[in-house]
Structure formats: C-alpha cells, structure tokens
Amino acid sequence: MRGKRSKQYRKLMQQYGLNFGFREPYQVLLDANMIKDADRFKMDLIGGLERTLHGQVKPMITQCSMRHLYAAAKEPGVSFLIDKAKTYERRRCDHRPEDYPEPLSTKDCLASVVDPKGSKTNKHRYVVASQELEVRKFMRGVLGVPLVYINRSIMIMEPMAGATAENREREERGKFRAGLKRGSGSLKRKREESEEKEDVGVQEVRPKKKKGIKGPKGPNPLAVKKSKKKPEGSATTRVKAEGEAMKEGTDVKGELKPEVKKESERGESSLGQADESELSSIKRKRKRKHKPVDGGGPSAVSEMADEDG
C-alpha cells in the first residue's frame, strides 16, 4: 500500500471514529466472494484488512454467506476456504434453512444485519467487505458504513458516501452553534458579574494593551536638562531664612552685611600690620655666626667682623 493512500485511509477511519464511534477491533462483515477473490489473488485477507483500516479487526461471516460457500464446495480449493471461514466469528442473521431453503442474496442478508430496522443507520458499527456492486450501492445509503473491496489484488476502501458526509457536516455545524451559544451565555454572565462589582465599588481591571500597538513615549529623563532657577519658597520659608541670616550676620541672599564687612576688613588690616612687625624683628635678631677658617690669621678674622658690621 502506497503512503498517500494509506494516509487517506487513516484519516477516513479517524473521521468514522469521531463522528460514528468506531473503535478497535473493527467488526468486518465478509461475504463469500470476498473470501474467494482474496484466495485467488493469494492475499492475506486479515493482514490486508488491518493495513487498510489501520487497526485490529474482528472478521465475521453470516450464515447465508457460509451456505454460499457450501454450495460451491465442488469447486477446487473451496473446501479449504470453508475450513478457514469456520474460524471467523459467526454472525447470526436468523435466516435458517427451515425457513429459507435457499440462502438469501448477499445484499438482503447483509442489509438485515447492518440495518435490521430500516432506519438507515449502522447501529453496531460494522465494516462491510464485499465484492458485489449491489451490496456496496445499498450500503452507501446507510449512514456510517465503511466499504472495502479488492480490485486487481489491491484492497481499496471507498471514500465517505454522500449521505454520510452530509450527516457529518450537519453534526459539526450543530456542535459549532452549540459552542457559540455557550460562549454567549458565559459572556452575559461575565457582564452581569462586572456590573455587580461596579455597584459594590470594586475597581475595574484595566484591559491589557494589545501587542504591536505603541502609545506616545515621554522624553528620556536622562536627556532632559535640569532647571537652573530655584523655586521661590513660601512666606514661612522666607521668614525662616531671614532669621538664620540675622544670626549668622548675612543677608537672605547670602551676602555679608555692611557692618560685618567693615569689622572684618579692620581685623584683616590689623592682622597684616602685626605680621609685618614680627617679620622685621625676626630679621634684626638674626645674626650670622661664622667659624674661623683653619690657617687664617688675624687679618681674616678682622675682615669677617667688618663684613658683619
């Protein structure tokens, strides 16, 4: 089986499982011709069904299909097929030989098993594997019936029939509408709760900003120049500043008063005069004392004395 076809079959069985409740092991109804053709093409019937349906299968055969095999027992190799079909689960169709001397056709037998009440629904979730066109044509009118057949040694599963696909779409629309109704009810409840909170006085939560929408940005605080002007204080602050300035001997602006200025200038001038007198006295007191040089006579000593004088 090629990958593309296998993927399609897997998706198809998933849709049957979601919308009609199919589950493993899948119950597969086989007819006599399906068993014969699988043997004629030397196919593994059970393995092929599992690969096609992508899951475990439970093969079943009706009493009428078994009677069709018994009727063809004279053909070569059919006796082996009869023994093989006996290993499959027998699905009773209530078509007994006492009531029906001849077995019913495959179409009538399978129709009575799949849709016994004529409600056009596959209540027991059967998969029909048949080689007869009439059987597949009838089963397309029943909702939720996967159909399998063999074509030139290849096992094929038919796509979902028109009635089944319409029913599936109808159910999906109903689920979608039900979800919308539930969502609208929840929105109404949320609105009522928010109104109650507003009445009580609870603050509303601000809505989150949407991503990608940026509002106006303010200036960068690091790039803004600081104002040089000092803010003028109130009357109380001015009074306090004046009081402190009076104590320190300065004006409100921080400048010295004229009286304090004169006193400071007088003090500086007196300090300057005292420093000059001290320096002159130190210079007068300083005397140079020279030691006599070795080998020098009285003339040298007298010259040193003259220099000091």
Q: Is residue 275 part of a domain?
A: no
Q: Which amino acid is at 198?
A: E
Q: Strand 154-157 and strand 147-151: pairing?
A: antiparallel
How confident is the model over 26-50, as a mean pLDDT?
Answer: 94
Q: Is residue 56 part of a domain?
A: yes
For residues 65 and 63, give the distance between their C-alpha atoms in angstroms, rounded to a whole number: 5
Distance of CA 261 to the CA centre of its chain: 80
Report pLDDT digits (tens) over 41-71: 999 999 999 999 999 999 999 999 999 999 9
pLDDT at 308: 45
Q: Is residue 212 part of a domain?
A: no
For residues 14 and 16, give the distance between their C-alpha atoms in angstroms, rounded to a whole number: 5
pLDDT at 26: 96
Q: Which amino acid is at 149?
A: Y
Task: Give SS3 for 23.
Answer: coil
Q: Is residue 216 part of a domain?
A: no
pLDDT at 79: 92
More confident residue, 73 or 259: 73
* pLDDT tier at 23, thresholds 50, 70, 90: very high
pLDDT higher than threshold 50 for residue 191: yes
| CB of 90 closer than 8 Å to CB of 63 | yes
DSSP summary character for residue 77: T
Q: Is residue 266 part of a domain?
A: no
Q: Is residue 227 part of a domain?
A: no
Task: Give SS3 for 58.
Answer: strand
Q: Is residue 114 part of a domain?
A: yes
Report pLDDT digits (tens) over 230-272: 555 555 566 566 666 555 555 545 555 565 556 556 655 555 5
On the CB side of 112, CA atoms within 13 Å amount to 13
pLDDT higher than threshold 60 for residue 34: yes
Report pLDDT digits (tens) over 77-125: 899 999 999 999 999 888 888 888 889 999 999 999 999 888 889 999 9
CA gyration radius, the chain: 58
- What would the two tokens of residue 134 be? 């009439």
Segment holding 127, helix H or strand E: strand 126-129
Domain tally for the chain?
1
Segment holding 60, helix H or strand E: strand 57-62
Residue 111 buriedness (CB in 10 A; 0-12 / 13-18 / 19+)? buried
**Structure pTM?**
0.56
pLDDT at 41: 93
What does each C-alpha distance from 83 to 86, 185, 234 come to in angstroms? 5, 62, 115
* Nearest CA among 62, 61, 59 for reference residue 25: 59
On the CB side of 98, CA atoms within 13 Å amount to 1
The domain in which residue 9 lies consists of 1-165
The CATH number of the domain holding residue 55 is 3.40.50.1010
| CB of 148 closer than 8 Å to CB of 139 | no
Report pLDDT digits (tens) over 134-163: 999 999 999 889 999 999 889 999 998 877
Angle at 121 between CA 109 and CA 29, to 5 degrees: 40
Mean pLDDT of the chain: 77
Q: Is residue 156 part of a domain?
A: yes
Contacts 24+ apart (CB under 8 A), 41-46: 41/150, 41/152, 41/153, 43/150, 43/153, 43/155
pLDDT higher than threshold 50 for residue 278: yes
